[in-house]
Amino acid sequence: MIKLFKVKEKQRENAENANGKTPVKKQSAGELRLHRDISELNLPKTCSITFPNGKDDLMNFEVSIRPDEGYYVGGTFVFTFQVSPIYPHEAPKVKCKTKVYHPNIDLEGNVCLNILREDWKPVLNINTIIYGLFHLFTQPNYEDPLNHEAAAVLRDNPKLFESNVRRAMAGGYVGQTFFIRCI
């Protein structure tokens, strides 16, 4: 290939000052795959998506979920998504921005959803994750708790759990913890 290198080097020298175009932004394979995921989103009415950095940054976005049944009906819960350039080799990082009283979401917004960590597979997509998150609100489960207290209440006293959820969503204290209104 050295001959080729030689030819190119000569041309490079000749064209040293003939640089016209500004360097262009590169799109990573992850961005392209995400473009597909996003353009094919098929969200239920209860979920919506926004792009805080405008239409050209798909790698960071927010999803709002408004459950229409179950304990959390009426609340609005916002999740932030951060997608890596090697998506879908790696799962997006998802956090719950809204402080929520929930057995599978802790007060820092960490979410216990298997497909976000140990069970992530490149064939899954953003739609699957959003449905998974939605599911957490219609069917919170006490078997895989992140918020230990909330899980214990859900297991032992569902009535109390329900009223705790309502109190938290309306803005107020559950035990020592203050929740901001999200209805």
Partner 1 sequence: MADTAPSRSRDLDKLLLRAGNLVGPTFEPGTELRDDLQEYARILVVGAGGLGCELLKDLALSGFKNLEVIDMDRIEVSNLNRQFLFRMEDVGKPKAEVAAKRVMERVSGVNIVPHFCRIEDKDISFYNDFNIIVLGLDSIEARSYINAVACSFLEYETDDKPQEETIKPMVDGGTEGFKGHARVIIPGVTPCFECTIWLFPPQVKFPLCTLAETPRTAAHCIEYAHLIKWDEVHSGKSFDPDDPEHMQWVYSEAVKRAELFGIPGVTYSLTQGVVKNIIPAIASTNAIISAACALETLKIASGCSKTLSNYLTYNGVAGLHIKVTEFVKDKDCLVCGPGVLIELDTSVTLEKFINLLEEHPKLQLAKASVTYRGKNLYMQAPPVLEEMTRSNLSIPLYDLMDKVAKDILHVTGVTGQSDKKTSCLRKLRVVFRGVDGVTDMDMAGGA
Partner 2 sequence: MAEPKTKYDRQLRIWGEQGQSALEKASVCLLNCGPTGSETLKNLVLGGIGSITVIDGSKVEVGDLGNNFMLDESCVGESKAKSVCAFLQELNDAVKAKFIEEYPEALIEMNPPFFSQFTLVVATQLGEEKMIKLDRICREANVMLIFARSYGLTGFVRISVKEHTVVESKPDHFLDDLRLNNPWPELRKFAETFDLNVPDPVAHKHTPYVVILIKMSEEWTNSHGGSLPSTREEKREFKELLKSKMVAIDEDNYKEAIEASFKVFAPPGIKLALSKVLQSADSSFFPFSIAIGSDLQQIINDSSVELSSTSSDFWVMVAALKEFIATEGGGEAPLEGSIPDMTSSTERYVNLQKIYQAKAEADCLAIEQRVRNNLKKLGREPESISKATIKSFCRNARKLKVCRYRLLEDEFSNPSVPDIQKYLTDEDYSVAMGFYILLRAVDRFAANYNNYPGEFDGPMDEDISRLKTTAVSVLNDLGCNGSTLTEDLINEMCRFGAAELHAVAAFIGGVASQEVIKVVFLS
- Residues acting as catalytic residues: 112
Least CB distance to partner 2 at residue 105 (A) = 18
Size of interface with partner 1, in residues (CB under 8 A): 65
Instruction: In angstroms, give the least distance from the CB of 151 to partner 2.
Output: 10
Residue ranges in the chain assigned as alpha helix (H): 2-14, 29-39, 126-138, 148-156, 158-170
Separation CA 109–CA 119 (nearest Å): 20
According to the binding rule CB under 8 A, does residue 55 interact with partner 1?
yes
Q: Can you give the binding site for partner 2, defined by CB under 8 A?
A: 114, 142-143, 155
Question: Of 60, 70, 82, 90, which lies in the binding site for partner 1, with binding defined by CB under 8 A?
Answer: 90
Rounded Cα–Cα distance for residues 137 and 182 (Å): 14
Rounded least distance, CB 99 to partner 1, Å: 11
Q: Report cis status (omega within 30 of 0) of the bond before 88.
A: yes
**DSSP single-letter state for residue 123:** T
Give dist(CA 19, CA 17) in Å, integer: 6
Both structure tokens of 147: 């918020």
CB of 144 to partner 1, least distance (A): 4
| Complex with partner 1: residue 73 or 115, whichever CB lies closer | 115
For the beta carbon of residue 61, count every other beta carbon within 10 angstroms.
20
Cβ distance 81 to 57 under 8 Å?
A: no
User: Per rule CB under 8 A, is residue 53 in the interface with partner 1?
Assistant: no
For partner 2, the closer CB: 27 or 114: 114
In the window 122-181, what residues touch partner 1 (CB under 8 A)? 122, 144-146, 148
Contact 129, 107 (CB under 8 A): no
Binding of partner 1 by 49 (CB under 8 A): yes
Interface with partner 1 by CB under 8 A: which residues?
1-9, 11-12, 15, 18-21, 23-33, 35-36, 38-43, 48-51, 54-56, 58, 84-86, 89-91, 104, 106-108, 110-112, 114, 117-118, 120, 122, 144-146, 148
